[in-house]
Structure 1
Amino acid sequence: MRKLGCKPAVTRHNQPRLSGLRMMARKAPARLVRDHIDPAPLMLANDQIGDCTSVGIANHLRATASLAGYQIDVSTGDAVRFYSESTGYRPANAESDQGGIEVDVLGIAGRDGYHLDHGTYYPLWGTVDPQDRNALALVVAGMGCAYLGVQLAAADQAPGVWDTDRTGDNTPGSWGGHCLLLWDYTGLGDNDLVTLLTWGVRQKATWQWLHSRIMEAHGIIWPQMVLPSGFYPTGPDLDMLKADNAAFLMGNLWQVPVTS
């Protein structure tokens, strides 16, 4: 069983953007293959409830840690708790399982933190143009992976590599909205493969599939975990990201629905 839970992309006032960062003016690596590194994505109840927006953040933490040579423990309870905190989900009320809006989920994580049993992590984040392939690749190279919202087609339910000419209905959104991570890529051509982290596995897809399904894309960094990468935002880039996140939090007050 696989559940979906990403609502349509929304743009908020003062939403942080990565386009002004120096790191985004570079040309992305022609290929980025990480077969030798295990990002260890977890399901975290996304086979039972639509908590993918929370699971995406948790698995981003784990993927970032794996690039630095260690791992972070995340429990299903951690992911479900933040899903409740960021969307109003209540385990006792199935009707409250309505999914999340990515920018709001990221904003709440930045404001209140993503709580694990051993500590709390506060992300900084920014949005990129989802159709800018170089920008997506730069986010993966510099920030560990990209946090995406996609509109999955009914044809994507079948096993195998996701592409745009599969048997069945390939209409984006005919299955529903989902949050997942872009982890690596074999090249930057339409038919080159990307690796997506979702439902506890590494799912292969083509770039052309990704561009047909994607609706939003965000880069996340964790100030508590600095990656050893020449593309990682530092200095003025980091200062700008902090300022933009602070402005976003000041201008947006989330009232998470409370459902009995």
Structure 2
Amino acid sequence: PAVHDPRTYRLKAVLATALPVIPSKVNWAPSAQWPMWCNDKIGCCTQVSVASAIRTWTGAAQAPVMLTDPQVIDNYSAESGYVPGEPSTDEGGVELDVLNRWRIEGYERPGQTRDYLTAFGYVDPKNNPQVQRAIAFLGGLYIGLSLPNYACAVGDFDWIINPLADNSIAGGHAVFIHGYDADWLYLNTWGAPRRMSYAFFQKYCDEAYGLVSRQNWTGITGVSPDGEVLDGLVAEMQASVGA
């Protein structure tokens, strides 16, 4: 289940100030190839979403960095306590815990010892402009969904509202949204790209976070691919607790 903390930064006012004009469409990873990252065998979707974020940011800002399966599993084990080969320890992760550990202790990644998140803030999944601003300005959105059973089927299909299908909730699932247009949100899950309707997103998303990654999104230049400086944004986020 989603866990919320009143101390989490709120991004509504911050993003409205930082990016008042919302682009009509953005896709930071339009042609990326997405691994399964073992999510067909274990419940590591919270770490698959970390790997997806890193791949999206680095692919847009510098050169794509792809985590390996063992790195995703090691990150999942470090955060959740999962022990490979012991199914009873495969219990998924709490998104707030995953993000806080990413910020404080970091995760494994290729090419260097650790990957660190600079900051993160809560985004209202019911507020489409807020969602779009986070994707456009920060390079994506890290979300948690309570997925209905019909959305868990294997195959290439869109996530849309389907009142005739099995709408009982199968469980929680984390994904990273890397793009949007007027009709769809773009993400990857279970080794493939996918589209999600805004109606589906608003019905089934129960937590959403905008992430600031100085390491992957702004790099040594200190600005994003679109030229935004993130220092001021982080300072505003730190002042927005409980807003």
What is the TM-score of this pair, normalised by structure 2? 0.86
C-alpha separation in 2, matches of 1:137 and 1:24: 13
| Residue pairs, 1:10-49, within 5 angstroms | 10-22=3-15, 23=17, 26-33=20-27, 37-49=30-42
C-alpha separation in 1, matches of 2:59 and 2:140: 11
2:54 alignment partner AA: L
2:232 alignment partner AA: P
Give the structure 2 partner of residue 182 of structure 1.
177
C-alpha separation in 1, matches of 2:69 and 2:198: 31
What stretches of structure 2 of length at least 5 have no aligned partner? 219-223
Inter-CA distance 104–154: structure 2 relative to 1 (3 Å threshold): same
Cα deviation 1:132-164 (Å, max 9, x = unaligned): 111111111011110010011111133411111
Give the structure 2 partner of residue 218 of structure 1.
209
| Residue pairs, 1:1-260, within 5 angstroms | 8-22=1-15, 23=17, 26-33=20-27, 37-119=30-112, 120-123=114-117, 124-158=119-153, 159=155, 160-165=157-162, 167-171=164-168, 174-187=169-182, 192-225=183-216, 226=218, 227-229=224-226, 232=228, 234-241=230-237, 243=238
SS at match of 2:49: helix
The root-mean-square deviation of aligned C-alpha atoms, in Å, is 2.2
Percent identity of paired positions between Structure 1 and Structure 2:
26
Counting matched residue pairs gives 230
What is the TM-score of this pair, normalised by structure 1? 0.81
Deviation at 1:170, TM superposition (A): 2.5
What stretches of structure 1 of length at least 5 have no aligned partner? 1-7, 248-260
1:205 alignment partner AA: M
C-alpha separation in 1, matches of 2:36 and 2:229: 29
Cα deviation 1:9-44 (Å, max 9, x = unaligned): 111252222234254662422222467x43333221
C-alpha separation in 1, matches of 2:111 and 2:131: 31
Going by fraction, where is strand more abundant, 1 or 2?
2
Runs of 4+ with deviation above 4 angstroms: 22-25
